[in-house]
Amino acid sequence: MNSLRGIILTLVALVVLCGAASAEERLKMSTTTSTQDSGLLKVLLPPFEKKNNCKVDVIAVGTGQALKLGEAGDVDVVFVHARKLEDKFVADGFGVNRKDVMYNDFVIIGPKNDPAGIAKAKTAAEALKLIAARQATFVSRGDKSGTHMKELELWKAAGTDPKGSWYIEAGQGMGPVITMATERRGYTLADRGTYNAFKGQKTDLAIVFQGEKGLFNPYGIIAVNPKKFPHVKYDLAMKFIDYVTGPEGLKIISGYKAHGEPVFFIYKK
Amino acid sequence: MDFFSESLKTALELITSRDPDVVSAVTVSVVVSLWSTLFASLAGVPAGVAVAVTEFTGKRAVVTLLNTLMALPTVVVGLFVYSLISRQGPLGGFGILFTPWAMVVGQTLLAIPIVANLTMSAIKGADPRIVPTALTLGAGPFESIRRLVVEMRFGIMAAVIAGFGRVIAEVGVAMMLGGNIRGYTRTMTTAIAMETGKGEFALGLALGLILMTVALMINMALNALQQR
């Protein structure tokens, strides 16, 4: 029984310690996996946390889910990439003060020998049409993420409804999808940041199509509407938005490199 | 790629360098799991004893229900608790979603059926003469049941250890309710899931080895406790 008391005392001590550590304010931010997986948040958050004596709790999910967390009022700020959904989020009254932060672009990656011959396509939609015509393996995120939304947009532009055993809906994040496409020798639509983090050691797939303006991938940051959810930490959220879109944040973003290459670009003012 | 030797090396490096992310993930895993196990034991042990020593109509149904709940997928528990504690849910006002407490709630619910079931089995396996003997020797009903529990403490301890094993190893509740927040709700298992997603298989495996080491150490400690 003495030992049991020991365990309980230890537990109480641990909780007191945890309580002391969590005295600072916490800002909850839902974001897309690409901002976390690229490693950007590891350098972007600490200066802000230090200056404001707070912690930014990052919940990294697909853009669709990230916005849903905002619609439920479970987070204070969202940082995502799906312009149409973001505008709807603001128009429906869930978010306020949307600001552009940065952009990168999507690329179509696939086996180096390019079995569907999409490298010669003029547009991304045309490239997808070629993949569908050859029934070459294509792995889709299938998770309502920003990347998935972009992919669906491109299929629509291609006038193709992708169906069949060649079209694999993974329902997973960008990383697992690149891994899956690599194992299955297929194509996929990836954001350049995650692809850069994977290329070489983790995947031998190459960029087979890039550089069309339809593949532009802008990121926006939005505060959750305090009129709708009085409990959100609106002031801190706005401070954070000002920091990210201000000179200090933008400098960190544009200077951030993975494998020696920039991952995100900022808008020229 | 030789994942296994690479991850063994990584695991050793992470342990010897006391990598802050790993230390934090181990701490969160252990603290949250211990709390969940404690709460689950406070609820599950008495429930298990009660079901074992009493006769009532519908007892078989209760036992079947407990057995079914033992097999409950962790994501189902996660989803269920999520719907309660999200800001849109009935308990949303507390704002505990994406905090360690949310994980404690979910994991407690996961562990209760296991602790209750195994406690019940342990008590049922007890010498049937314990309670009558205690009663004849002048103990009251409460005292005689206490005797029974003390007599069966090893079996009950085993039930508690099994509950702990279930919660420290699970990922569904930790991911859905904790949100895998670095340094706050990131556990060993959610870190493994995340690193695997990022294609860092060796690092994921390394974390797995550390988790197994931690679980082994805790079980050894609990076992030592049981032997005394």
- A122 and A207 in a single domain? The answer is yes
- A126 and A62 in a single domain? The answer is no
- A30 and A80 in a single domain? The answer is yes
- A176 and A49 in a single domain? The answer is no
B38 touches chain A (CB under 8 A): yes
B179 touches chain A (CB under 8 A): yes
The pLDDT of residue B5 is 87
Q: Are strands A216-224 and A77-80 parallel, antiparallel or unpaired?
A: antiparallel
Distance from CA of B217 to the nearest CA of A (A): 15
The pLDDT of residue A201 is 85
Which tokens is B222 given? 């609990």
pLDDT above 60: residue A18: no
Nearest chain B Cα to A199, which residue?
Answer: B199
Distance from CA of B155 to the nearest CA of A (A): 16
User: pLDDT per residue over B88-139, tens digit each?
Assistant: 899 999 999 999 999 999 999 999 999 999 999 999 988 888 888 999 998 8
Q: Where are the domains of chain B?
A: 21-227
- A118 and A157 in a single domain? The answer is yes
Which residues, 6+ apart, have CB-to-CB distance to A104 below 8 Å? Answer: A191, A192, A193, A217, A219, A263, A264, A265
- A134 and A38 in a single domain? The answer is no
- A67 and A195 in a single domain? The answer is no
Pick A28's closest partner by Cβ from B98, B180, B225: B98
- A110 and A157 in a single domain? The answer is yes
Pick B88's closest partner by Cβ from A18, A60, A72: A72
- A114 and A207 in a single domain? The answer is yes
Nearest chain B Cα to A42, which residue?
Answer: B182
A215, A239, A258: which is the final residue of a domain? Answer: A215
The answer to whether position A32 is within a domain reads: yes
Pick B184's closest partner by Cβ from A8, A55, A176: A55
User: pLDDT per residue over B198-224, tens digit each?
Assistant: 888 889 999 999 999 999 998 888 878
B90 touches chain A (CB under 8 A): no
Interface predicted TM-score (ipTM): 0.80
Of B114, B105, B116, B115, which Cα lies nearest the Cα of B174?
B105
Contact A28 B199 (CB under 8 A): no
A215, A232, A255: which is the final residue of a domain? Answer: A215
Nearest chain B Cα to A21, which residue?
Answer: B184
Q: What is the pTM (predicted TM-score) of this model? A: 0.85
Say yes or no: domain B21-227 is CATH 3.30.565.10: no
User: pLDDT per residue over A96-110, tens digit each?
Assistant: 999 999 999 999 999
Q: Which residue segment(s) compose the domain that A121 sits in?
A: 105-215
Which tokens is B179 given? 């949100």
> ∠ CA(B99), CA(B103), CA(B108), 5° rounding?
145
Helix and strand element counts for chain A (H, E) = 11, 11
Pick A74's closest partner by Cβ from B31, B38, B87: B87
User: pLDDT per residue over A66-94, tens digit each?
Assistant: 999 999 999 999 999 999 999 999 999 99
- A174 and A45 in a single domain? The answer is no
Contact B38 A11 (CB under 8 A): yes
- A109 and A201 in a single domain? The answer is yes
- Residues of chain B with Cβ-Cβ distance to A8 below 8 Å are 38
Contact A11 B95 (CB under 8 A): no
The answer to whether position A90 is within a domain reads: yes
What total of structural domains would you count in chain A? 2
Distance from CA of B13 to the nearest CA of A (A): 20
Q: What is the CATH number of the domain that holds A58?
A: 3.40.190.10
